[in-house]
Amino acid sequence: MSHKGQRRRGLSQGHHDAAEGHCEHSTVDVAELEARITANVLGRIALALAGPTKPSHYSRRRGCAPPGRSDRNWKAIARTVPGASKPGRWWIVPVSDYEAWERSQSRRAPPAVTANDHGPSTWTPAQAMAELGLRGTRS
């Protein structure tokens, strides 16, 4: 089409296409084509049989969070992991840095019990009903 949106007509303007017979015929080496296709197919089969590969990094991009973390949870902590960088739009964390950070998080000491905290309490439905002034019935 021309710059005004009008279709060009005829061959007089120097525009040719293959349908008009202005292309040269080429020959195909069938053996070379077969070798290329075979190598490509074998490579794809090998990748499929190898199974999923471990990524080199985790990203804040949706679906690229570490296993066991939701996208929302990962988005909140990704930039706090040592070794995280932001080369473009998304924060990325190398897998080795994330694994080291996660190991350090699991070794942290449990929080100290404060004076107001009496430790974990056992909650029961009967206890909750009694606090509300209700009485449970037995069936």
pLDDT in tens, 16-71: 555 555 556 667 788 898 999 999 998 888 888 887 777 788 888 887 888 888 88
- Which pLDDT belongs to residue 40? 92
Which backbone phi and psi does 94 adopt, to 5 degrees? -60, 145
Residue 39 inside a domain? The answer is no
In a domain, 75, yes or no: yes
The Cα 39–Cα 30 span in angstroms is 14
Average pLDDT of span 124-133: 82
Domain count, the chain: 1
Query: Which pLDDT does position 63 carry in this prediction?
Result: 77
Asked if 101 contacts 82 with a C-beta cutoff of 8 angstroms, the reply is yes
Range of the domain at 87: 57-106
Helix, strand, coil share of the chain (percent; to 5)? 40, 5, 55
The torsion angles phi and psi of 54, rounded to 5 degrees, stand at -75, 135
Put simply, whether the predicted model's pTM sits higher than 0.85 gets the answer: no
Q: How many CB atoms lie within 10 A of CB 92?
A: 19
SS3 57: strand
57, 66 in Cβ contact below 8 A? no
Mean per-residue pLDDT of the chain: 77
Distance, in Å, from the CA atom of 85 to the CA atom of 45, rounded to the nearest integer, reads: 35
Can you give the pLDDT at residue 115?
Answer: 55
